Amino acid sequence: MIRLLEHEGKALLARNGIRIPRGALYPQLPVDLEGNLVVKAQLFAGGRGKAGGIRFADDIAAATTIARDLLGFRIAGATAKDVYIEERLDIAREYYLCATVDRDIGMPVIIVSREGGVEIEAVGANNVLRRPVDPDQCNARRVA
């Protein structure tokens, strides 16, 4: 199983031609990163936003202060060793997409919903599509 932190997943998407918001790990920030920013603790735990692990900043100076505060942030037994800072975008709509392994059926499952956002667990089952993916039936190309 592969577990990716948000910044690792975004780097993978960017390497494969998918546009992502500009950002970087603290403290290696691009000098031209400015304006409204989002500062995100990087750790394997759900509920980062509600627990205070995702915060907003009006400028790079405020983002840097927040980033220092978030280093070592703990939630559900996980500790943030990195903090990701990216430009804040005006989002018209969010979707949810997940690929995971369902151990009960022994294969990957794709989960999608038009109701993306912070709490996908709270979305009603009739608004979430789950589809098993049989690897033996796939003719996929390798993605680097």
The answer, as to whether pTM is greater than 0.85, is: no
Q: Given the structure tokens 């979305």, which residue do they identify? A: 123
pLDDT of 21-75, one tens digit each?
Answer: 999 999 999 889 999 999 999 999 888 888 999 999 999 999 999 999 999 999 9
Residue 118 confidence (pLDDT): 63
Rounded to an integer, what distance in angstroms lies between the CA atom of residue 113 and that of residue 18?
A: 20
Confidence of residue 143 (pLDDT cuts 50, 70, 90): low
Average pLDDT over residues 93-97: 88
Q: Given the structure tokens 């031209």, which residue do they identify? A: 32
Full set of structural domains in the chain with CATH? 6-87 (3.30.1490.20), 96-137 (no CATH)
Residue 1 confidence (pLDDT): 63
Rounded to an integer, what distance in angstroms lies between the CA atom of residue 64 and that of residue 30?
A: 12
Confidence of residue 81 (pLDDT cuts 50, 70, 90): very high
Confidence of residue 140 (pLDDT cuts 50, 70, 90): low
